[in-house]
Amino acid sequence: MTQKRAGLIGLGAMGAGIAATLRRNGYEVHACDARPGVAAGFAREGGVACGSPADVAKACGIVISVVVNAQQTESVLFGEGGAAAAMQPGSVFVMCSTVDPNWSIALEQRLGAAGIHYIDAPISGGAAKAASGQMTVMSSARPEAYAAAGGVLDAMAGKVYRLGDQAGAGSKVKIINQLLAGVHIAAAAEAMALGLREGVAPEALYEVITHSAGNSWMFENRMAHVLAGDYTPLSAVDIFVKDLGLVLDTARATKFPLPLASTAHQMFMQASTAGYAKEDDAAVIKIFPGIKLP
């Protein structure tokens, strides 16, 4: 029996986890990454290293892109050594980035003109859930795209939501998720900062809140980073500068007010400008004056 095969572009925190999950579920995974040596490291773990997105596309009928944004997705598809020119009609491109829904809709049409199926498939759950196969996929695509992708979406995630029969719906739901995620991180940072300002022991505050009604997944996860004094970026401040910007752009098109998202976006912008752009998004707490962080 021929082993199932999938291609993956981008071996960052989420991409590496997806690649490991696919391999664990019986897929031969061909992968590339823009950073020198990363794909070679993946090959040492049992994957197949490729030199470019085009090489991935030549080897695989299903190509999964796990890069940061629309600009990087454009590059891996249509830039030098891009995947699109090497993809055969009937192959599938799975787009996992957080992007403007209208851009995703246009990409479906652009790839469709070349006979390439497209799945709008933003992801959520973080690196740990990607590696354990428990992340969430918020997808939308034409029925023939789902059919051509076989079981690859179910193989790489714990929850796969099929939200519509064309691109756009997946990205819209991801945008709303990011609104909540960004606001929750900003609110968690504000609460912890107030506790520090008032002299509450941060460990005690964390213990109480995580067992009380005010808790959120983001408070529990991100404020643990603050307590540890560890701002190694799992998701960086600038990710939420981008994602909340997309949220606001989406709402602005229909003149829909988002006061909480707007405030959270300003907080992440302030943190980025203050020099914390590449730190973990929990570093948004560093914008608050007069507190001593752990």
Using the 8-state DSSP alphabet, how is residue 100 labeled?
-
130-180 pLDDT, tens digit per residue, is 999 999 999 999 999 999 999 999 999 999 999 999 999 999 999 999 999
Confidence band, pLDDT 50/70/90 cuts, at residue 2: low
Separation CA 218–CA 188 (nearest Å): 7
Number of H helices, E strands in the chain: 13, 9
pLDDT at 203 over 70: yes
Task: Answer yes or no: are the C-beta atoms of 244 and 182 closer than 8 Å.
Answer: yes
In this prediction, residues 203-215 reach a mean pLDDT of 98
- With residue 165 as reference, give the H or E element that holds it: none
Beta-carbon contacts of 193 under 8 Å, excluding residues fewer than 6 positions away, are 285, 288, 291
Rounded to the nearest integer, the mean pLDDT of the chain is 97
Neighbours of 107 (CB within 10 A): 20
43-59 pLDDT, tens digit per residue, is 999 999 999 999 999 99
Using the 8-state DSSP alphabet, how is residue 141 labeled?
E
270-283 pLDDT, tens digit per residue, is 999 999 999 999 99
Separation CA 20–CA 132 (nearest Å): 8
- Candidates 129, 174, 242, 286; catalytic one: 174
Look at residue 174 in the predicted model and tell me its pLDDT: 98
* Residue whose structure tokens are 């599938």: 92
174 among known catalytic residues:
yes
227-266 pLDDT, tens digit per residue, is 999 999 989 999 999 999 999 999 999 999 999 999 999 9
In this prediction, residues 184-208 reach a mean pLDDT of 98
Q: Is 27 helix (H, G, I), strand (E, B) or coil?
A: strand
* % of the chain exceeding 70 in pLDDT: 99
